[in-house]
Amino acid sequence: MSSRSHPRARHFRVSCFCRRRSEDLRDSLGWSPMEAVLRVLGGTAVSLSLISSSLSLPPVGMAVAAVQLPLDSPPAERCAWEEEQDPSSIERSPPPVITNEEIVKEAWEVVNESFLDSGNRGWSPEKWQQKRNDVLNSPIPTRSSAHDTVRKMLASLGDSYTRFLTPTEFSRMARYDLTGIGINLMEIPDDNGVIRLKVLGIILDGPAYLAGVRQGDEILSVNGMDIRGKSSFEVSSLLQGPKETFVNLEVQHRDCHQVRSIKVKRQSVAQTPVFYRLEKMESGAAYIGYVQLKEFNALAKKDLVIAMKRLEDAGASSFVLDLRDNRGGLVQAGIEIAKLFLDKGQTVIYTVGRDPEVQRTIVAEKAPVFTSPLIILVNGQTASASEIVAAALHDNCKAVLVGDKTYGKGLIQSVYELHDGSGVAVTIGKYVTPNHMDINGNGIRPDFSRIPALSRVTQYMSQCRLSSKA
């Protein structure tokens, strides 16, 4: 990804709704799929982006995506040698020695570079510089005291989502694997503008690594299907499958350009978050399709499309999308699902932050897949990616919202690894709805408290469209 170099800290983005970054890699949100809210637009590398599904439950529960931070690619002359060697036997250089003071400085620099004071608590570069002077004014004798210093320094920001992660917490977060084979993908357009997928990160000793895949390799096909032009988000779904089954990859190694067929054993599988049924309306003259979406994972878009098309084939003329108690998941999944219902050019969401790369307008690029009347059910536990979908469809007059006000979590976060294996999660931006409302701390108010008659829904949406044109 593009890199705005941070002296030492490695950064990978999880988006909010979770976090972000690895050393020289930067992903921005919701950008092309896993840029994960995932930064591919414009050809930058992308990392899995997520939306925090933990809501207000502090650190531990945030849904995180992102595969192990990038590894140095083997030199070209080692390509053939590696095919004959046990990957686990490859020598790795010992980590550089880092002082306790440098760990504190790293954490300070991360905040100084990217932190967004979303709560308007009075943060300023001048105050933060003074904080640095204060904390480094006294000796820091142990690594434990360095970590405590970082915790106190971050706590002074007053942002519960900006926090310190122990090496164990960071490792657990970094190894969350959404492909099932231990890799993270980035999208890079070639000279003709065709998207190609390369391995951005790989889990050491994970299934793909043990089978011979390396960071920087290009994935050419999955189970015989040419994936050129497909997004990293789409391909992540192709890689998924039942645990202990195999997926066949055609890979071109980064340095020697050798093309190999590699068979990889899956280690995990995403569960479908979609449940649906066909219901007869009270009038008895029509059917309505009910679809419950429990979370936004790598299968959400694909399974939602399958469910809605099956319901349409069975006679559904309108739909209820139930997002109650859906606390989020992959930001990009939410963005891609919203695009299924939007007209080409309509805004999905705006992102705001200090970093110009965080400031984006995400729009639908194609005509809608579904145009039937849509009711979205929400409540106080509808959050993050769910709020992006609800706001996008509501503000563009594609759906009515029914239920209770949503949770109100619209922060974008990044996670930076410090050089001792610990990490810092930092709020770097926020989401703003197409109607320019700040989601975070406000939530989204529904149009109705109870499901209205279908005629009322169509009337409401028609009036909405007239008002927006005016």
Nearest to 65 by CA among 133, 13, 8: 13
For the segment 152-194, what is each residue's pLDDT rounded down to a tens digit?
999 999 998 899 999 888 876 655 566 778 887 877 877 877 8
Candidate list 198, 294, 301, 409, residue with the active-site label: 409
- The verdict on whether 430 is a catalytic residue reads no
Q: Which amino acid is at 225?
A: M
pLDDT at 212: 92
pLDDT at position 232, please?
77
Alpha helices in 279-345 (DSSP H): 300-313, 331-339
The HSE-up count of residue 137 (CA atoms within 13 Å, CB side) is: 7
Q: What domains lie within the chain, and their CATH numbers?
A: 100-166 (3.30.750.44), 179-266 (2.30.42.10), 274-413+421-468 (3.90.226.10)
Query: How crowded is residue 391: how many other Cβ atoms within 10 Å of its Cβ?
Result: 25
Which are the contacts of 325, defined by CB distance < 8 A and separation ≥ 6? 294, 379, 381, 382
- Identify the active-site residue in 22, 232, 237, 384: 384
> What tokens appear for 435 in the block?
């109607």
Distance CA 51, CA 384 (A): 6
Residues 190-220, buried b or exposed e (16+ Cβ, 10 A)? eeeeebbbbbbbbbeebbbbbbbbbbbbbbb
Q: Give the integer Cα–Cα distance in Å for 327 and 28.
A: 21
Q: What are phi and psi of 113, to 5 degrees?
A: -80, -40
pLDDT at 76: 38
Give the CA distances from residue 464 to residues 222, 377, 400, 468, in Å, rounded to whole numbers and listed in that order.
Answer: 44, 18, 10, 6
Q: Does the active-site annotation cover 409?
A: yes
Identify the pLDDT of residue 323. Answer: 97
| Residue given tokens 């550089």 in the structure block | 96
Q: Give me the residue label for tokens 């390396």.
A: 214
How does pLDDT run across 367-407, given as a tens digit for each residue? 999 999 999 999 999 999 999 999 999 999 999 999 999 99
Please say whether the beta carbons of 9 and 419 come within 8 A. yes
Tell me the CB-side half-sphere exposure of residue 84, using CA atoms within 13 A: 3
Count CB neighbours of 7 within 10 A: 11
Q: By three-state DSSP, how is residue 175 classified? A: coil
Q: Show the DSSP H helices in 364-453 as ranges.
A: 385-395
Residue 213: per-residue pLDDT: 92
Question: At which residue do the structure tokens 């809210």 appear?
Answer: 37
Return averaged pLDDT per consecutive 10 residues of the chain, 470 residues in all.
Answer: 38 37 29 25 26 29 29 42 46 69 96 91 94 95 96 94 88 64 80 82 78 90 90 81 89 88 82 90 81 89 95 95 91 92 97 86 96 96 94 97 95 87 91 94 94 90 86
Nearest to 185 by CA among 223, 110, 240: 240
pLDDT digits (tens, 9 = 90+) for 1-49: 222 334 445 554 443 333 233 322 222 222 222 222 222 222 222 223 3
